[in-house]
């Protein structure tokens, strides 16, 4: 597309290959964008909440995943529509920043778009709608801060953190074991947390999955677990006071980088070459041994020849250690990653209390645990489960729980879930709407309606009547001046979310409302779509 001017200086647009382009303008563009984005939100809305449904997604090459995590669902849906892609990014940015609330943010954006569509039909200008939403969002955020409560993360053996983790896990496949998994997540985060700086380096928590056993067998290992074993079955199974040589070069003779041929014309030449190759191996093993290392971890594989020599020299070794593991081990043990054998020196070795091989269940599969690392404490959560699908979903769920706990360590304010916080904000936004005399008033009111959409969706997903449940909860919030009344999804007999202990982080809720509003505003500003015909 390019801009040109006619003889009178009037601008006009030239579209290349005009026949094959599609163009939508004005109201048609707004509506088409909104409908595309809403379709995504509608797909996710049945997954929201503790009784939300899971989705089964099959990739083009036949991999099946079953998940309830919003970010994963939209990512695997392979969405083509450009506006709908904005919602995918919305969910992903919530995932990147907060880690939890990825379904909620898309559902809220969908509700806002639904309202925007009605307002457009009424003839209200998109910019007025966008402005009204913006003002309403500020009011909602302010009110969220007012109703948030600080929790004592240390009290009662970190009970509040466990509850918050349980809320995040409650909607997932693993919800039956939410308390056990919640405790594991809390212990893992507290083990690596720097409470003084209120910071958690999530890289120090490794989540390792292994099919077999059941979800109950999931456990926390205080050390780094790697899914590898010693390179030779006769090597020692445990190295105490380990001095680790961390190599990113293969245990094999150097190979010419360019294409060269070696011509061997006599048996003697062959023998010479053989002996030289042998010498390479001997030298390599010697360099590692001389540095004082008592175990070598190698990112690459090694020849049988090298393996044999390592065994003969009593140097246990591990091959094919993954790149991420190499980095984590380096961070935790203080090892320098060594790219060439000539560079091995005693100072570059990492130190750990022990490196030992462990076996799980009755299978013959072994893993290595590196414990008591010298520099930082790193932990591993070993997730077990009957099938790959279950362990994958359990991994995503535990990741969400870990993020919630990390967020609470950074900022210990919570709001109550079950739609109560959204409902309280909706009431506040409605009150504010009455004070606005301009046309934005309608948009502000619609924003409140969209917020009410969350409790309504929660009620719908657990088989309650959404209209009655939300009306009752709203009336009680107003009568009792109690912002904690929400939807009793689990039918526990109380709608007070404090009694049900449904904790959500203030940071997540704030981010959800802000991000959803931003995306909707962005969609409302698009009034011209020019795309290839097949889009």
- Residues with catalytic function: 69, 102-103, 400
Task: Please state the closest distance from residue 278 (CB atom) to ligand ADP, in A.
Answer: 59
Structure tokens at 163: 């509850």
Q: Is residue 126 a contact residue for ligand ADP (CB under 6 A)?
A: no
Nearest one of 63, 92, 65, 164 to 394, comparing CA atoms: 65
Given the complex with ligand ADP, which of 37 and 318 has the nearer CB atom? 37
Q: Is residue 104 a contact residue for ligand ADP (CB under 6 A)?
A: yes
Given the complex with ligand ADP, which of 331 and 520 has the nearer CB atom? 520
Task: Please state the closest distance from residue 489 (CB atom) to ligand ADP, in A.
Answer: 4
* Residue in 33, 43, 83, 102 binding ligand ADP, rule: CB under 6 A: 102
Nearest one of 382, 78, 331 to 212, comparing CA atoms: 382
In angstroms, rounded to a whole number, what is the distance separating the alpha carbons of residues 251 and 302?
A: 5
Measured at the CA of 320, the angle between CA 318 and CA 324, to 5 degrees, comes to: 105
Walk across the sheet containing 219-221 and list its strands: 205-211, 379-385, 219-221
Given the complex with ligand ADP, which of 21 and 501 has the nearer CB atom? 501
Contacts of 142 (CB under 8 A, 6+ apart): none
Given the complex with ligand ADP, which of 316 and 419 has the nearer CB atom? 419
In angstroms, rounded to a whole number, what is the distance separating the alpha carbons of residues 36 and 43?
A: 11
Contacts of 54 (CB under 8 A, 6+ apart): 47, 66, 67, 68, 173
In angstroms, rounded to a whole number, what is the distance separating the alpha carbons of residues 134 and 296?
A: 58
Cβ–Cβ < 8 Å for 372, 187:
no
* Selected range binding ligand ADP among 34-42, 98-106, 129-137, 201-209, rule: CB under 6 A: 98-106
* Selected range binding ligand ADP among 164-172, 191-199, 264-272, 297-305, rule: CB under 6 A: 164-172
- H/E run at residue 11: strand 11-14
Task: Fill in the per-residue mask, 337 to 366: x = in contact with ligand ADP (CB under 6 A), - = not in contact.
Answer: ------------------------------
Nearest one of 485, 483, 430, 425 to 451, comparing CA atoms: 425
Task: Please state the closest distance from residue 107 (CB atom) to ligand ADP, in A.
Answer: 8
Given the complex with ligand ADP, which of 97 and 527 has the nearer CB atom? 97
Q: Which of residues 21-50 bind ligand ADP (CB under 6 A)?
A: 47-50
Task: Please state the closest distance from residue 101 (CB atom) to ligand ADP, in A.
Answer: 4
Q: Which of residues 48-77 bind ligand ADP (CB under 6 A)?
A: 48-50, 52, 68, 70
Measured at the CA of 311, the angle between CA 306 and CA 312, to 5 degrees, comes to: 95
Contacts of 199 (CB under 8 A, 6+ apart): 193, 409, 410
Task: Please state the closest distance from residue 146 (CB atom) to ligand ADP, in A.
Answer: 18
* Residue in 242, 430, 502, 520 binding ligand ADP, rule: CB under 6 A: 502
Q: Is residue 316 a contact residue for ligand ADP (CB under 6 A)?
A: no
Size of the chain in residues: 535
Task: Fill in the per-residue mask, 407 to 446: x = in contact with ligand ADP (CB under 6 A), - = not in contact.
Answer: ----------xxx---------------------------
Q: Is residue 231 a contact residue for ligand ADP (CB under 6 A)?
A: no
**Which residue's CB atom is positioned nearest to ligand ADP?**
417
Given the complex with ligand ADP, which of 341 and 447 has the nearer CB atom? 447
* Residue in 489, 506, 520, 523 binding ligand ADP, rule: CB under 6 A: 489
Q: How many residues bind ligand ADP (CB under 6 A)?
A: 24
In angstroms, rounded to a whole number, what is the distance separating the alpha carbons of residues 72 and 248?
A: 33
Task: Please state the closest distance from residue 461 (CB atom) to ligand ADP, in A.
Answer: 9
Torsion angle defined by CA atoms of residues 92, 98, 99 and 101, in that order, rounded to the nearest 10 degrees = -80
Q: Is residue 307 a contact residue for ligand ADP (CB under 6 A)?
A: no
* Residue in 30, 88, 101, 136 binding ligand ADP, rule: CB under 6 A: 101
Cβ–Cβ < 8 Å for 298, 317:
yes
User: Per DSSP, which regions of 26-167 are E strands?
Assistant: 55-58, 64-67, 149-150
Q: Is residue 469 a contact residue for ligand ADP (CB under 6 A)?
A: no
* Residue in 67, 72, 103, 163 binding ligand ADP, rule: CB under 6 A: 103
* Selected range binding ligand ADP among 125-133, 211-219, 304-312, 487-495, rule: CB under 6 A: 487-495
- H/E run at residue 325: helix 323-333
Nearest one of 134, 141, 71, 79 to 106, comparing CA atoms: 71
Task: Please state the closest distance from residue 111 (CB atom) to ligand ADP, in A.
Answer: 13
Q: Which of residues 167-196 bind ligand ADP (CB under 6 A)?
A: 167, 170-171
Cβ–Cβ < 8 Å for 297, 276:
no
DSSP states of 187-228: HHHHHHEETTTTEE-GGGEEEEEEEBS-GGG-EEESEEEES-
Task: Please state the closest distance from residue 199 (CB atom) to ligand ADP, in A.
Answer: 23
Task: Please state the closest distance from residue 502 (CB atom) to ligand ADP, in A.
Answer: 5
Q: Is residue 110 a contact residue for ligand ADP (CB under 6 A)?
A: no
User: Per DSSP, which regions of 327-467 are E strands?
Assistant: 350-359, 366-373, 379-385, 413-416
Binding site for ligand ADP (CB under 6 A): 47-50, 52, 68, 70, 100-104, 167, 170-171, 417-419, 458, 487, 489-490, 502, 504
């Amino acid at each position: 597309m390019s801009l040109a001017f006619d003889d009178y200086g009037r601008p006009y647009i030239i579209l290349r290959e005009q026949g094959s382009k599609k163009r939508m303008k004005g109201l048609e563009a707004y509506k088409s964008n909104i409908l595309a984005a809403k379709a995504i939100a509608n797909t996710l809305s049945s997954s929201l909440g503790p009784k939300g449904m899971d989705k089964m997604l099959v990739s083009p090459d036949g991999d099946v995943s079953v998940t309830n995590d919003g970010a994963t669902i939209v990512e695997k849906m392979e969405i083509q529509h450009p506006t709908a892609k904005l919602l995918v990014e919305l969910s992903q940015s919530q995932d990147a920043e907060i880690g939890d609330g990825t379904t909620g943010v898309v559902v809220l954006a969908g509700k806002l778009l639904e309202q925007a569509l009605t307002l457009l039909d009424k003839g209200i200008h998109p910019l007025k709608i966008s402005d009204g939403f913006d003002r309403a969002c500020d009011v909602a955020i302010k009110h969220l801060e007012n109703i948030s409560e600080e929790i004592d993360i240390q009290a009662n053996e970190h009970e509040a953190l466990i509850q918050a983790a349980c809320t995040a896990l409650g909607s997932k496949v693993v919800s039956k074991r939410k308390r056990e998994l919640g405790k594991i997540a809390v212990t893992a985060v507290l083990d690596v947390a720097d409470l003084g700086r209120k910071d958690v380096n999530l890289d120090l928590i490794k989540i390792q999955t292994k099919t077999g056993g059941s979800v109950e067998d999931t456990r926390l290992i205080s050390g780094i677990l790697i899914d590898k074993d010693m390179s030779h079955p006769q090597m020692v199974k445990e190295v105490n006071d380990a001095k680790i040589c961390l190599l990113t070069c293969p245990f094999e003779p150097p190979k010419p980088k360019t294409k060269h041929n070696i011509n061997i014309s006599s048996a003697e030449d062959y023998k010479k070459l053989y002996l030289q190759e042998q010498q390479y191996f001997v030298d390599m093993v010697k360099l590692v041994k001389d540095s004082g290392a008592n175990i070598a971890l190698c990112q690459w594989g090694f020849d049988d020849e090298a393996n044999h020599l390592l065994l003969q020299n009593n140097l246990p070794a591990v091959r094919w250690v993954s790149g991420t593991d190499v980095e984590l081990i380096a961070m935790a043990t203080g090892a320098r990653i060594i790219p060439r054998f000539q560079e091995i020196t005693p100072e570059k070795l990492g130190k750990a209390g022990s490196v030992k091989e462990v076996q799980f269940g009755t299978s013959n599969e072994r893993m290595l645990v590196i414990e008591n690392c010298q520099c930082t404490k790193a932990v591993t959560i070993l997730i077990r489960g009957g099938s790959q699908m279950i362990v994958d979903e359990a991994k995503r769920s535990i990741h969400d729980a870990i993020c919630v706990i990390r967020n609470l360590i950074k900022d210990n304010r919570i709001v109550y879930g079950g739609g109560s916080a959204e409902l309280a904000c909706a009431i506040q936004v409605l009150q504010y709407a009455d004070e606005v005399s301009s046309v934005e008033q309608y948009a502000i009111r619609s924003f409140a309606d969209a917020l009410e959409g969350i409790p309504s969706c929660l009620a719908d997903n657990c088989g309650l009547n959404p209209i009655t449940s939300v009306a009752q909860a709203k009336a009680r919030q107003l009568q009792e001046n109690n912002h904690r009344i929400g939807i009793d999804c689990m039918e526990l007999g109380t709608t007070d979310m404090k009694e049900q202990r449904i904790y959500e982080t203030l940071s997540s809720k704030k981010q959800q409302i802000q991000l959803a509003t931003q995306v909707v505003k962005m969609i409302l500003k698009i009034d011209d779509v020019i795309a290839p015909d097949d889009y």
